[in-house]
Amino acid sequence: MRAFKHSILMILPLLVLWSSTLGAQNKEADFSMVPGTVIRHEAASSGVFVGAPGLVIAPGGTYYASLNFTSIQGGDRGTVHRTAVYSSSDRGVSWVLESEIDHQRWSTIFYHRDALYLMGVYRAFGDAIIRKSTDGGKTWTEPKDGGSGLLAKGRYHCAPVPVVIHQGRIWRAMEDALQGREFRAFMMSAPVDADLLKADSWTMSEKLDFDRDWCEGDMEGWLEGNAVITPDRGMVDFLRCGVSGGRHSIAARIHIDEEGRTASFDPEKDFIRFPGAAKKFTIRFDTVSRKYWSLVNWIQPGDIKYLESAKAGRIRNSLALVSSPDLEHWIVERTVLYHPDILDHAFQYVDWQFDGPDLVAVSRTAYEDGLGGADNYHNANFITFHRIAAFRNSID
């Protein structure tokens, strides 16, 4: 009898777990509360999460969105290194899966000279690569060597950040990490008429380390930089910064020479107050308003209290539209998306484009889905599309 009771006690937890899993499986997905248009959903129970959304509008008006998958299963950064590409022919109302590509991660999708490109890394902290598609994202080249898209072997890091044309060159910011997450910032550039799949077309600038003594000893790192053309027609790498001590609005500006070879940073002048600087952002210049714009995870005044228990980089429940006339003085124009919970909700890693009077964006979104919601704020379950109509109009 004692052995029988012991067996029952051993089985009961398994029955509870099985019952709980079965209940989760029997739930129905419900996206009715999710803001925007859902491009991709992965239930938290799958162990796979979606991230790194990118967006480009082709000359014919077709939207292309890219995203990648990751997993907490199998180690530090997961074992899934795959990117999906979607298209929309109705300005973001509906989306069609064009392809899924193995061994592509953290990529910028962009259009250049009648072709789509994906520029990122082969795997998390892997080789720097680029792929090309001439059929609307359905098929892609393979980066096998220095002549077909393998740009540099090493331990590289990046995000879906802007690719810009300036002074006859195409520019894109990157980082490398010799070990751990100690990122060195640099810029890659190539002549606009070069074969972008050839490694020798690209120039790498100097790679700059950060100094932990900066910001009164609170500097923790920089990453996910933006190639931005300055008002005086220079090129800078405008970077997200991690700064401890409760400071959450400090970005860094690295100056790159016109040939893309040298890089310089002055800690006395090149830290910029920037709302949401502790999280990834995209900056673009608008020729209509003559302003720089971004969508950022600004920590609202009512949420400052969370800094007592969470780092600024982990508070992503608010998405705000910000602008600047000069890259130095930034104002919050309006809140675009908000949820009061910081643990399981987020609108993060937003990439976006101008679309006439509107601004269109894609977000890595953690939100309710009828299946238990996201694993947490970071491990998102949605990629969503959003339109901010008449974004240049101020709101009283």
What average pLDDT does this structure show over 225-234? Answer: 98
The Cα–Cα gap between 167 and 232 comes to 13
- List the domain boundaries for the chain: 42-154
CA atoms within 13 A on the CB side of 218: 14
Please give the pLDDT value at position 73: 62
pTM: 0.92
Mean predicted lDDT score pLDDT of the chain: 92
CA distances from 46 to 49, 258, 329 (A): 8, 47, 43
> What band does 22 get if pLDDT is binned at 50, 70 and 90?
very low
> What band does 356 get if pLDDT is binned at 50, 70 and 90?
very high
The backbone torsions φ and ψ at residue 255, rounded to the nearest 5 degrees and listed phi first, read -90, 130
The tens digit of pLDDT for each residue in 290-344 reads 999 999 999 999 999 999 888 999 999 999 999 999 999 999 999 999 999 999 9
Mean pLDDT lowest for which of 18-22, 33-37, 88-92, 214-218? Answer: 18-22
> What band does 78 get if pLDDT is binned at 50, 70 and 90?
low
Helices (H), the chain: 2-26, 214-217
Other C-beta atoms lying within 10 Å of the C-beta of residue 291: 18
Please give the pLDDT value at position 26: 62
Res 4 pLDDT > 70:
no
What average pLDDT does this structure show over 97-108? Answer: 97
Mean pLDDT lowest for which of 70-84, 148-162, 247-261? Answer: 70-84
